Amino acid sequence: QVQLLESGGGVVQPGRSLRLSCAASGFTFRNYAMHWFRQPPGKGLEWVALISYDGNNQYYGDSVKGRFTISRDSSNNTLSLQMNSLRADDTAIYYCARARGVTRAHSDYWGHGTLVTVSP
Q: Which residues bind another protein (CB under 8 A)?
A: 35, 37, 44-47, 50, 57, 59, 61-62, 95, 100-101, 103-108, 110-113
Q: How far is the CB of 69 from another protein (least distance, A)?
A: 16
Alpha-carbon dihedral of residues 59, 34, 56, 77, nearest 10 degrees? 150
Q: At its nearest, how many Å lie between another protein and the CB of residue 58?
A: 9
Closest by CA position to 99, among listed 65, 41, 63, 48: 48
Residue 89 DSSP one-character state:
G
3-state secondary structure of 14: coil
Closest approach, Cβ 16 to another protein, in A, equals 26
Shortest spacing between CB 114 and another protein, in angstroms: 11
| CB closer to another protein, 49 vs 118 | 49
Distance CA 77, CA 59 (A): 20
Considering the complex, state which of residue 48 and residue 83 has its C-beta at the smaller distance from another protein: 48
